[in-house]
Amino acid sequence: MIDIDFVRKQFPALERDFIFMDNAGGSQVLSKVAERISGYLLHHNVQLGASYKVSEEAGKKLKYATSRIAELVNASRDEEVVIGSSTTMLMRLLSLSIGKQWKKGDEVIVTNTDHEANVSPWTDLKEKGIGVKIWKVNPETLQLEISDLRKLMNSRTKLVAVTHASNVLGTINPIKKIAKEVHKAGALICVDGVAYAPHRKVDVQELDVDFYTFSWYKTYGPHLAVMYGKYNKLVKLDSLNHYFIGKKDVPYKLQPGNFNFELTYSTLGIIEYYEELYNHHSNSNPVSFSEKLNKTFEIIATHEEKLASALLDYLNEIPEIRIIGHSEADSSKRVPTISFVHSKMKSDAIVEKVDDHRIGIRFGDFYAKKLISDLQLEEKNGVVRVSLVHYNTEEEVKKLIKVFQQIF
């Protein structure tokens, strides 16, 4: 059982008389993160690389933060961590760099379930003659079928872009299996982990992905993002930095203007929180950081499944409501990002009625425009999305259900 009181004390915003259920759009921030930001700005706000002491101290702090990020995602070396302003920007930089090396007739594959952050950077390469194929979700099961992917790949396929968890469907895709198929075809895989990382442990070596990106502001931190890339793949990329920054300058060649120092340093607060969550819930002997993460995310997943189950059980009882995604709360199949439509009401009308009750949910396409279009949900103004995380409570879910009962 998660100690929900302990969890909520770490997030100052939760003291407000408001229920946050738009967490897939942006989670609340840990107090530790805010403290790290202010601490860095107040005491180490200098340029790096100078010989004086404060600059040297700042450099060590940021090097340590980067090493912990690498540890968090299980990168093989610190240089595999690329910091950027957003997942959208990092994907764009990656496509600009790698696209320079592709030739007319080469192909990329994107899905119709992804946020545009992992679609537009690749489809825009059509301008230089790159072919684009779309791996479409099965309209009946709302799942991506690997057999369909196999049919799309060939000797010209350079990269497959796919989400780890859909920010609309909530479905967890079998990335390890997909990566194996992609590599068998001689291509690279680029994964958007934005909707997955707040809920489950990310292990890039276990997944065997080439590139993996997520945003810290969806994982209880600042408006910042990180991209993992296999070192041997990053080294081959063209530099997007100044002319004197060469291919071997990894990751700096993909960080034009450098990364944000104070926000990068603040991510330590997230990593420390995961460790404290483990320590608070465990009396076992000292274990490795990886084992702590396993237990921490097991605690998170178990609690989130309870939350999702309560909401889905209610929604499934209403004939007019259709769940867009898995209708069961099984944490091995989905994250607690729950979308639905009502046969008689438009999605915006439902959300606007909820707003008055100081509960934040949302409607729309959530930049997964191809999915909403292909499912013919535009006339509903998209879906209603309730996106939960582990700091939400069963009482909050019950309050939302009571509000829905008044609406439906």
pLDDT tens sequence across 318-374: 999 999 999 999 999 999 999 999 999 999 999 999 999 999 999 999 999 999 999
Percent of the chain with pLDDT over 70: 100
Which amino acid type is present at position 162?
V
Q: Are 266 and 221 in contact (CB under 8 A)?
A: yes
Contacts of 362 (CB under 8 A, 6+ apart): 22, 25, 351, 384, 385, 387
Residue with tokens 């009401």: 345
Average pLDDT over residues 194-219: 98
Mean model confidence pLDDT for the chain: 97
CA dihedral sign of residues 320, 317, 18, 270 = negative
What pLDDT, on the 0 to 100 scale, is given for residue 255? 96
- Predicted TM-score (pTM) above 0.75: yes
Q: Are 322 and 347 in contact (CB under 8 A)?
A: no
Q: Are strands 383-387 and 362-364 parallel, antiparallel or unpaired?
A: antiparallel
Task: Read off the pLDDT band of 285 (50, 70, 90).
Answer: confident
Residue 360 pairs with which residues in a beta bridge? 20
Q: Rounded CA gap, 279 and 300, in Å? A: 14
**Distance, CA of 280 to chain centre:** 26
Helix axis angle, 268-281 relative to 289-316, nearest 10°? 80
Q: Phi first, then psi: give them for residue 209, nearest 5 degrees.
A: -90, 155
Average pLDDT over residues 370-382: 97
Percent of the chain with pLDDT over 90: 99
Structural tokens at position 91? 């994907």
Please state whether the peptide bond connecting residue 251 to the residue before it is cis, i.e. omega within 30 degrees of 0. yes
Q: Are 152 and 181 in contact (CB under 8 A)?
A: no
Residue 226 pairs with which residues in a beta bridge? 83, 214
Q: Rounded CA gap, 51 and 48, in Å? A: 9
**DSSP calls for 55-117:** HHHHHHHHHHHHHHHHHHHT-SSGGGEEEES-HHHHHHHHHHHHHTT--TT-EEEEESSS-GG
What pLDDT, on the 0 to 100 scale, is given for residue 283? 81
Which of 66, 126, 115, 112 has the alpha carbon at shortest distance from 88? 115
Q: Are 90 and 251 in contact (CB under 8 A)?
A: no
Q: In this structure, what DSSP letter does residue 259 have?
A: -
Q: Given a cut of 80, is residue 284 above it in pLDDT? A: no
Q: Phi first, then psi: give them for residue 276, nearest 5 degrees.
A: -65, -35
Which of 72, 146, 67, 71 has the alpha carbon at shortest distance from 109? 146
Structural tokens at position 239? 């530099």
Task: Read off the pLDDT band of 286 (50, 70, 90).
Answer: confident
Residue with tokens 């104070």: 262
Count CA within 13 A, CB hemisphere, residue 127. 9
Q: Phi first, then psi: give them for residue 297, nearest 5 degrees.
A: -75, -20
Residue 22 pairs with which residues in a beta bridge? 387
Domains and CATH numbers, the chain: 4-29+289-407 (3.90.1150.10), 33-270 (3.40.640.10)
Q: Rounded CA gap, 2 and 4, in Å? A: 6
Q: How many CB atoms lie within 10 A of CB 263?
A: 22
Average pLDDT over residues 201-210: 98
Tens-digit pLDDT profile for residues 109-146: 999 999 999 999 999 999 999 999 999 999 999 999 99
**DSSP-based three-state secondary structure for 132:** strand
